[in-house]
Structure formats: C-alpha cells, structure tokens
A = this chain, B = another copy of it.
Amino acid sequence: MVDIATRVWNHKWKIDPIVRSLIDTDFYKLLMCQSVFRNKRDTQVTFSLINRSSHVPLAKLIDEGELREQLDHIRSLSLRRNESTWLRGNTFYGKRQMFRPDFMEWFEQLRLPPYHLERVGDQYELTFEGAWPEVMLWEIPALAVLMELRGRAVLNDMGRFELQVLYARAMTKLWEKIEKLRGDPALRIADFGTRRRHSFLWQDWCVQAMYEGLGDSFVGTSNCLIAKNRDLEAIGTNAHELPMVYAALAKDDAALAKAPYDVLADWHEEHEGNLRMILPDTYGTEGFLKNAPDWLAGWTGIRIDSGDPATGAETAIRWWKERGEDPTKKLVIFSDGLDVDKILELQRQFAGRVRVSFGWGTLLTNDFRGLTPDDRLAPFSLVCKAVDANGRATVKLSDNPNKAMGPQDQIDRYKRVFDVGAQERLDVVV
C-alpha cells in the first residue's frame, strides 16, 4: 500500500538534509565546547576544511549550490526541546548533569555562525571564523556534508536495483566484519565514524547492526543524535583542538611547553573517571609523557590517535610503570584508521596487559571501497581543523609527520620546544 501522504511529503522536500540536528555531532565536541565555553569563551578562532586527498576534486564533484543549501540548512538548526532534555537529563559516563545549566542555556540559543565558501581550482575553501565555542561546532557537520554530497553525486547515476545492490554489498561487507569481531566477548568497540560517514542513514544502520551483532561488545556511539534515538551510550572525551588552540595562545616558548598540560588541568577540574583520557600525540607522545606532571599518571587512560598504535600503547604502558601505576587498571583507546584486522591484532596484543577499547571510525561507517567502478565511493582523508586562534597560527605535529599541520616555521619551533626527534612517516588512508 502506498502511503500517499509520505510520498507527497517526500516530493515536497526542497532539500534532503544531510545534517538534521545540532546534536548530529560527536559527543566530545559538546564536552569540549562546554570546557571552552567555561575557560576560553572569547577566543577568536578560524576552522578550515582541508582535503588531504587532493586527487579527489571536490569542487568538480559537488555542486556549489547544493553545498550552500546544506550549509545554510545547518545554520537554520537550533537545539530541539527533546535534545536539550536529553543533554540535561541523561546519564553520561555514569554521571548526571554532565552539562551545566549555564552552558545549556547558551546552547539552546545557539545558531551556527556564517561560513565562507570559495571555489579554488578543483577544491573548495571552506572556513568558519568567530568565537571558539560557536565555530568549533561546525567541524563535524561540515565534514559530514562534504562526504555525503560527494557520495550523492556518485549515487545519482545509478539504477534502482543497482543502488539496492550497492547497499546490499555494503551491508554484507560490514556484517562480515561484525562476524569476525564476534569471536572475542572481551572486545569493546564504539562507533567513532560520524565525520566521514557515507551518510546519516547509513551510520544509523551501521550502529544498529553493530549493536545486534556484537551485543555488549558494542559500547556506544560518538554520535549524540544516534545515541539518543537508539538509546545507546554517547562516547567521547576530548581532541587535538584543545591543545592546538591553547598552544597557539601561548605567549612564549615556556608557556607553549606548558600549554598541553594546562588543557588537561582544566579538564581535570571538570571531569573524572573514564572521561580523564589523555590524548598525548598532539606534539609527540614521547616528549609529552616524559614531561607530564605526576597527577596525569593517575588519569584513567590514553587515546592513541596517530603513529604506530602498538608502539603508542607500549610507550603508554612503559610510562605508567615508570610512574608506579598498574597498567592493567588503565584504559587504552585506539582510534586511528582502524579496520577489523587491526582491531583484532591490537586486541590480541594488549588484552590483559591494559584495558583495551576501540573507537572505530571511517572504515565502520564508510567502507564503500571496492563497491563501485573506479572506487568513486571510497572514503578519503578530509579534516576540518582550527588553523588560527586570536590571529596566531595553530600547529599539530602528531606521531605521524604526514598528519602535521601549520606554517613550517611554527612547526620547526614546536618541534624544538617539544623536543620531537625523528618520526616514522605512515600513510594516511582515512
């Protein structure tokens, strides 16, 4: 039976929105936003889209009008009542009222600030300028919009059954991964795939399939909207943008060297338990841990987001032992470029030695590799980063020089201040 009203309604749509809600974003964005709102509210920042995969000519693939439509739609969003209620009333990481009333009042009034879009050659320059707590919320929706519009351009040429088979193949591919992961009940995996997902509906499917297939091994999703709708845990802590902006704001080299720890001192005041996760790689994991204050060794764990993950975990284990901590009580979260074989390998290697968890991103929610001719749906490496804070360029080094960002003279300065030695170059796939 055709539901006529639904059909007419669908036909009336002016736009098929990619981002449907202000909380269709990563949970850690909201945690960080609250921290920034409290500690650095007036910092002026610029976020900028960076397509690390320059062979993907985004401006040729994506119509500028459609892109503006989607971005304008995002600017029209504001927090819905049930979303606000969920953020105010839900238990996150075992804690009620994680989001404070003053932050929630501000968030309830928020609309995202303007964007600047310009075509330059075959790429788009897309930037967002303004107060840090507002601008930072553009990152995830901007990435999701570009990734999905590129996908839609490819899907547009396909037949009805061809499309159904495409999704059949993608479902089969994910389910085979889930079947591989099923063997080990000790596994703990969360969805971290919002930003470079194939689409919202697909991410929603992936999350539900993971939940049915893995049961308790699937611990939740970073996507707040999906967590709310599907009654799952919202997962996430903090990210590089905090140390990057704090560092850019530093007055001199001494303040710069201290900046990454200042971030975590602020975080320490606000959060406890599983939210006390160190992200040590912004300016090199080795140096960060060596110079860390002792109270940081008391934190719950470390997230490993660049460099060779096993090396990173070994470094963390060594560091905890040096500081008199028991690594088996500590949590290591792997979140960089994971796919199922790497997950199983790391689980085998570290289960029992530390508590292990995985934040599985793009290859969970966008593994359309090999499903179309010329691989035109394969995910690619798109990021949206703070590039400037109060007029000063930001810098990221990470444990992989291929992920480094910032002006060369500043990169050199940061390498000197943070005593970063030789680093191994690793390919960035997604």
Contacts and interface: CB of A to CB of B under 8 A. Distances in A.
Nearest to A174: B165
Given A169-B168, A175-B168, A160 B212 contact: yes
B161 A209 contact: yes
Interface in A1-34: 1, 3, 5-6, 9
Contacts of A3: 1, 3, 6
Contact of A162 (B5, B160, B212): B212
Contact of A171 (B159, B160, B168): B168
Contacts of A160: 212
Contacts of A161: 175, 208-209, 212-213
A159 B6 CA distance: 28
Contacts of A159: 212
Given A1-B6, A3-B6, A6-B3, A168 B172 contact: yes
Nearest to A212: B161
A145 to B, nearest CB: 25
Interface string A142-174: 000000000000000001111011011101100
A209 B165 CA distance: 9
Contact of A168 (B1, B5, B6, B167): B167
A175 B171 contact: no
A28 B169 CA distance: 36
Nearest to A6: B1
Interface in A160-192: 160-162, 164-165, 167-169, 171-172, 175
A402 to B, nearest CB: 35
A340 to B, nearest CB: 15
Contacts of A208: 161
A50 B172 CA distance: 35
Contacts of A9: 1
A6 B162 CA distance: 28
Nearest to A1: B6
A207 to B, nearest CB: 11
Most buried by B among A3, A172, A213: A172
A141 to B, nearest CB: 24
Contacts of A1: 3, 5-6, 9
Nearest to A3: B3
Contacts of A175: 161-162, 165, 168
Contacts of A169: 168, 172
A1 B6 CA distance: 7
Contacts of A5: 1
Contacts of A165: 171-172, 175, 209
A160 B169 CA distance: 17
Given A161-B209, A165-B175, A168-B168, 19 more contacts: A1-B6, A1-B9, A3-B3, A3-B6, A160-B212, A161-B212, A161-B213, A162-B175, A162-B212, A162-B213, A164-B171, A165-B171, A165-B172, A167-B168, A168-B171, A168-B172, A168-B175, A169-B172, A172-B172
Interface of A: 1, 3, 5-6, 9, 159-162, 164-165, 167-169, 171-172, 175, 208-209, 212-213
23 contacts: A1-B3, A1-B5, A1-B6, A1-B9, A3-B3, A159-B212, A160-B212, A161-B208, A161-B209, A161-B213, A162-B175, A162-B212, A162-B213, A164-B209, A165-B171, A165-B172, A165-B175, A165-B209, A167-B168, A168-B168, A168-B169, A168-B175, A172-B172
